[in-house]
């Protein structure tokens, strides 16, 4: 892609905006449209665009596959751990009211943690799937 100057310059402009939009959807998901899944897909789409334009090698130098595997697991643990904490506090699985003194604060905290776990899992899993398929070039 070194011959496509306009594509590279446009991508350098768009990638930060895409990542910023992913963060916006992640952190405002409980207040409006969006949430962890949508944010994860948007965020990973920005990084996949980076890999398509600048090469998979540069992406995996920035974010190694091992880190993506750890992040996938960490997101699931954050989601499930939120539910386990509510059970340890004497409530049902994912009963957010118990996470804080005030039920409304607990709801906000619980939704934030669960959506963050989903976002991390979706983004890292999408990148893992892309990296595995993109790395299949010439390998048997």
**pLDDT tens, residue by residue, 88-123:** 999 999 999 999 999 999 999 999 999 999 999 999
Question: Residue 35: what pLDDT?
Answer: 87
Helical H runs in the chain? 5-27, 36-54, 56-62, 65-88, 103-134
- pLDDT of residue 137 exceeding 80, the answer is no
- DSSP annotation of 58 reads H
* Statement: the pTM of the whole predicted model exceeds 0.75: yes
Comparing C-alpha atoms, which of 139, 126, 124 is closest to residue 66? Answer: 124
Question: Residue 33: what pLDDT?
Answer: 73
Question: Residue 43: what pLDDT?
Answer: 97
Comparing C-alpha atoms, which of 15, 130, 25, 17 is closest to residue 72? Answer: 130
Q: Place 140 in a pLDDT band, splitting at 50, 70 and 90.
A: very low
Residues 57-87: b if buried by 16+ CB within 10 A, e if exposed: eebbeebeeeebeebbebbeebbeebbebbe
Domain boundaries along the sequence of the chain: 5-134
């Amino acid at each position: 892609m070194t011959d496509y100057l306009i594509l590279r310059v446009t991508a350098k402009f768009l990638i930060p905006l895409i990542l910023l939009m992913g963060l916006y959807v992640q952190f405002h998901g409980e207040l409006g449209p969006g949430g962890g899944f949508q944010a994860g897909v948007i965020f990973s789409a920005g990084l996949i665009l980076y890999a398509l334009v600048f090469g998979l090698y540069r992406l995996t130098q920035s974010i190694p596959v091992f880190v993506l595997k750890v992040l996938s697991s960490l997101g699931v643990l954050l989601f499930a751990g939120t539910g386990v904490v509510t059970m340890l506090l004497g409530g049902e699985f994912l009963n957010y009211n118990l996470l804080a003194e005030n039920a409304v604060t607990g709801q906000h905290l619980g939704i934030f943690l669960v959506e963050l776990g989903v976002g991390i899992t979706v983004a890292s899993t999408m990148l893992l799937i892309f990296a595995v398929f993109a790395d299949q070039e010439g390998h048997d």
